[in-house]
Amino acid sequence: MRVGHGYDLHRLEACPPAGKGKQFVLGGIQIEHSTGLVAHSDGDVLLHAVTDAILGALGLPDIGQLFPDNDPKNESADSAIFLCEAVDRMRKAGWEIGNIDCTIICEQPKIGPRRSEIVANIARLIGCTADSINVKGKTHERVDAVGEGRAIEVHACALLKPR
């Protein structure tokens, strides 16, 4: 078996014209929120961390090396493309998902009400069962950038098993 860890953080700003925030999306699910994600791609911080966990388990270059944020091709890209590329490389290398565990850290929005949709969508994108994916949310106790609502971060661990 192989294990990988992924981490990502994106800044949160008001949406234009007041700021540079893009529509808030987590795990491919759009969520109404007062701020949006600042990113070159769609800024899906959860899919970025999951992608990096899988790539990390494979010992491959990270998401930023595979999909540079200065490449116009990746501008406002659907991050599902990044995850699906990692999954494709995983299968070709002879591995499949054992399980993935994710922690989303933000004050708002609350993850709980959307958790099952997010889990189902990640499982659909990967092509695994929903019980292989775990997503949980916690706050940053109102301190630092995440706690003050200026950023959101995600940790993800992926266990791969031979196909």
Q: Which residues bind Mg ion (CB under 5 A)?
A: 8, 48
* CB 93 to Mg ion: min, Å: 23
Return the SS3 of 139: coil
Report d(CA 94, CA 81) in Å as an integer: 20
Instruction: Give the CB-nearest residue to Mg ion.
Output: 48
Nearest residue (CB) to Mg ion, 48 versus 115: 48
Nearest residue (CB) to Mg ion, 45 versus 160: 45
Show the tokens assigned to 39.
């990113």
Report d(CA 77, CA 50) in Å as an integer: 16
* CB 163 to Mg ion: min, Å: 28
* CB 68 to Mg ion: min, Å: 12
Show the tokens assigned to 53.
């966990």
Nearest residue (CB) to Mg ion, 48 versus 114: 48
Residue linked to tokens 């800044």: 11
